[in-house]
Chains A and B, each alone.
Chain A
């Protein structure tokens, strides 16, 4: 691997200790969103639209209300009327009016599964029975699912045209982003080789195993509590308060363990509805989704149509790139086009570029962030086109990428220069890896692809407190989805120079810690980690100051060494106090020792990854098996090496699922045909090989320990890596995902 400029040695960074929440999670004690129950709790149920697009003419809830044991019924009319307000609290921005109408339809249902009414009753069975008694009169409207269909002149409009008109022709385009520079057409016409192609896919789902669930309790005095799992309980607080038009401080959200999110739990679906039911009934109310609800009504990643043109000189130098894409937005405006534009071709030095993307409203659930949102779709197209270009040029595909790879200082698509990125180092590590030169068997092919994602920093708050015995507690506002308690404890223990077990980490509720953004955008280890380090440094300073006071020496004579305050000069030189000794006497030296760091972390850097994939294709049946997979990634610096590898392996598996079998299947009536794990085919254990990971460490100079976000990137390259491997094994270029056996078979045998 690349050698860092100076060799740093660490006590804990990069080690693999057992996570502090581990025992609870292997013994079944950990409480997830679906596990929490409040005394006196009612059970809620939601009635959902059977139509993909319809006007609600009337809702008759009388029969449900009359059923014994039913305590509250709610419809969209129970939510306050809101002014449009775009909030940036999840992953990307959302208009609060859309969030409200997505929780409970107001006048129209916009997708099959759109919530229309909700009930709370004394048992789950009664709640379901009552929901079925609600009668809704619909005027069914024409619906539209496809991107091109939704853009047609005569397409049904998902969003009502603005009253009075804005001068623009109403359409289903929800967002339009273009970036680039240079003269693309001229450069393409002068290029020695031009490849072009259209790539397509339907939406896919994040596929977290824990369905959404929450319990809400809203008292008559206006104060409320919510217990739920999410990627950010502050997000839950602000969105719920905004939808209900109440003060945020009246809601205390307690984060429960979260059973996966991958971007899909960065908004609210249930919480405002549970709140309304609780206020009406005066009791805590639980609302939960079934797996079918999750598939029908929570945010998939957008499907896409992507057109790519790449031009290169005869020596393989890229001279021009044009990428134009359309993404599903679903029922409401989503956020993936901007990230898609930024994530398409910025990993290559190209003088002439134009990348433009639109989001298209249609009668599907509103698209939501899914791991590296916006990136895998365009990357599939661009990295497939790169493979094709290498074939046309007769060049080694890895050499082609190395020749054109962006280096620090090169311009991104946005025009801003790249910082300390490790893309080239990833390519070099891949080239040196034995996988790259390993022989292949019959019917096997090798594909490669590289990709990146911008990552994020942003607001985080950490409180680090010292107990009387000199042990430490780190409290964060960041839900722990994949081991972040362990990485925070590692970083704090590193600063404090104490054993890992001397630092424990908890996720505090919204009333007990300051604002923290969602665990998403690969920001937690970076941003919350920065706050943890800052708080630990302050605690260390305070402990030294207390020791100085105890010794009655100037503070500058005391340093923190090896977990102890040490007097470095004067009469008391050589005196030593452990954290326990300082903390034990802290009540007499100035009071409890604690420090809070609240910051908005800047200086995050993108992650780059490069993947090598070997497939074996059954030429008679079209089945593609992944026989070997290596993922190389610039991780900045791994804090907990196991969980960094785990992020990479998990992202790869999701990418392989996306490449091979996962897809939303709607019928012509606009109804989802595969709302379950049986026919929404995520990879199972027997579908996967081991996933070899190579962690390249090009530290982020801004972060105290060099951290770069690692979670998002690994889902980006697999789509093209698999497709390029299939091309190598069969000679067929698969431009439509998923590469399910029937489609591969059709490509091989010319049917369908």
Chain B
């Protein structure tokens, strides 16, 4: 097996791993680095449960070869909270009960944070279209959309106060 040596920065930590050339970034995150917060719901980019940020842009980690991560920055759900302090998106998901089984939740939170990092004041339609790549089968999206809108409002307030 011709495994590839890869250096990347994952959640701020310089990380080295060996991977099979055909392995996805998701495979390596989950099975090699034990970061199992990113989930595999489909393996084809259709559910968004594996959403991570690669060099600051959200992607499906099942559709990235691990070898492509060489020299790049990866941010996963495990890096969203600052220590024990939840990100507002995480906090609002809890307060709005925006999760039932919770399996899709990490992907939604990474995606929602990615939206709010770019657009602090999204409309409901913008939220819905931005999150269209994340499937949730439990909630009907209602409480998820509300949580994201509320998190946006809180982040705006934080920014104004700062």
- A touching B, CB within 8 angstroms: yes
Annotate A681-702 by CB proximity to B: 1 below 8 A, 0 otherwise.
Answer: 0111110101100000000000
Contact between B42 and A676, CB atoms less than 8 A apart? yes
Residues facing B in A187-210 (CB within 8 A) are: 206-210
Q: How far is the CA of A161 from the CA of B44 in the complex (A)?
A: 42
Question: How far apart sit A342 and B136, CA to CA, in the bound complex (Å)?
Answer: 30
CB–CB A685/B20 < 8 A:
no
3 pairs of A and B residues whose beta carbons are closest in the complex: A28-B37, A259-B103, A653-B140
A481, B46: Cβ atoms under 8 Å?
Answer: no
Question: Which of B90, B100, B141 is the one whose CB lies under 8 Å from A481?
Answer: B100
B47 touches A685 (CB 8 A): no
Cβ distance A549 to chain B, nearest Cβ, rounded Å: 41
12 A/B residue pairs, CB under 8 Å, sorted by A: A18-B94, A22-B94, A26-B109, A209-B41, A259-B103, A291-B44, A481-B100, A642-B96, A649-B143, A650-B139, A684-B132, A690-B145
The smallest C-beta distance from B133 to any residue of chain A, in angstroms, reads 8
A32 interfacial contact with B, CB 8 Å: yes
For residue A209, which residues in chain B have a CB less than 8 angstroms away from its CB? Answer: 39, 41, 47, 49, 101, 103-104, 135-137
B158 within 8 A of A: no
Residue ranges of B at the interface with A (Cβ–Cβ < 8 Å): 20, 22, 30-31, 34-44, 46-47, 49, 76-78, 80-81, 86, 90, 93-97, 99-106, 109, 124-125, 127-129, 131-146
* Most chain A beta-carbon contacts within 10 A, residue among B31, B36, B134: B36
Q: Could you tell me the distance between the alpha carbons of A29 and B41 in the complex, rounded to whole angstroms?
A: 17
What chain B residues lie within 8 Å of A684 (beta carbons)?
131-133, 135
- Please tell me if the beta carbons of B99 and A26 are within 8 angstroms of each other in the complex: yes
A206 to B41, CA, bound (A): 14
Report the minimal beta-carbon distance from B124 to chain A, rounded to whole angstroms. Answer: 8
* Contact A649 B132, beta carbon cutoff 8 Å: no
Instruction: Kindly state the separation between the CA atoms of A262 and B137 in the bound complex, as whole angstroms.
Output: 9
Among residues of B, the one whose C-beta sits closest to the C-beta of A692 is B142
- Secondary structure class of chain A's binding surface, majority of residues: loop
Interface residues of A in 246-289 (CB under 8 A from B): 257-262
Across-interface contacts of A124 in B (CB, < 8 A): 31
Tell me whether A349 is interfacial, beta carbon within 8 Å.
Answer: no
Name the residue on B nearest A206 (C-beta): B137
Q: Chain B CB within 10 Å — which of A643, A649, A653, A685 has the most?
A: A685
Q: Which residues from 632 to 685 on chain A have a C-beta closer than 8 Å to any C-beta of chain B?
A: 640, 642-643, 645-647, 649-654, 676-678, 682-685
Find out whether the CB atom of A30 lies under 8 angstroms from the CB atom of B102: yes
Distance from B36 Cβ to chain A, minimum over Cβ atoms (Å):
4
Nearest-neighbor residue (CB-CB) of A205 within chain B = B137
Cβ of A16 within 8 Å of any chain B Cβ, yes or no, is yes
- The verdict on A351 contacting chain B, using a C-beta distance below 8 Å, is no
Given known contacts A260-B138, A642-B96, A682-B135, is B43 in contact with A29 (CB within 8 Å)?
no
Q: Known: A28-B78, A208-B137, A688-B128. Contact between A258 and B101, CB under 8 A?
A: yes
Across-interface contacts of B39 in A (CB, < 8 A): 32, 34-35, 209-210, 259
A650 CA to B128 CA, complexed, in Å: 16
> Contacts A28-B36, A211-B40, A642-B97 hold; do A650 and B102 have CB atoms under 8 A apart?
no
Q: State how many angstroms separate the Cβ of B101 from the closest Cβ of chain A.
A: 4
The range of chain A's interface size is 35 or more
A27–B81 CB distance below 8 A: yes
**Judging by beta carbons under 8 Å apart, are B101 and A291 in contact?**
no
In the complex the two chains form, is A25's CB within 8 Å of B141's CB? no
Query: Told that A259-B101, A260-B137, A482-B138 touch, could you supply 15 new A-B pairs with CB distance under 8 A?
Result: A28-B37, A35-B36, A37-B34, A125-B22, A259-B41, A259-B104, A481-B100, A640-B97, A649-B142, A676-B42, A677-B41, A677-B44, A677-B46, A688-B142, A690-B124
The reply to whether B145 and A25 contact each other, CB–CB distance below 8 Å, is no
Q: Which of A444-488 contact B (CB under 8 A)?
A: 481-483
A148 to chain B, nearest CB (A): 31
The answer to whether B93 and A26 touch across the interface, beta carbons within 8 angstroms, is: yes
Query: Contact mask A7-30 → B, CB, 8 Å, 1/0?
Result: 000000000101101110111111
Residues of A within 8 A of B139 (CB): 646, 649-650, 653
Q: Tell me if A512 is interfacial: C-beta within 8 Å of chain B.
A: no
Residues A290 and B101 in contact in the complex (CB < 8 Å), given A27-B77, A688-B128: no
Chain A positions within 8 Å of B78 at CB level: 27-29
A600 to B159, CA, bound (A): 54
CB A629 to nearest CB in B, in angstroms, measures: 9
B95→A208 contact, CB < 8 A: no
List chain B residues, Cβ under 8 A from A691: 140, 142
CB-CB < 8 A to B141: which residues of A? 653, 683, 685, 688
Residues of chain A contacted by B46 (CB below 8 angstroms) = 676-678
Is A31 engaged at the interface, CB distance under 8 Å to the other chain? yes
Find out whether the CB atom of B128 lies under 8 angstroms from the CB atom of A685.
Answer: yes
Could you tell me if A27 and B44 are in contact, using CB atoms closer than 8 angstroms?
Answer: no
Knowing A258-B101, A686-B132, the reply to whether A28 touches B138 (Cβ < 8 A) is no
Q: Are B138 and A18 in contact (CB under 8 A)?
A: no
Contacts of B49 in A (CB 8 A): 209
In the assembled complex, the Cα of A686 lies from the Cα of B48 at a distance in Å of 14
Q: Give complex CA distance A676, B135 in Å.
A: 12
A25-B99, A26-B105, A688-B128 given as contacts; is B41 within 8 A of A291 (CB)? Answer: yes
Q: Is the CB of B137 within 8 A of A34?
A: no
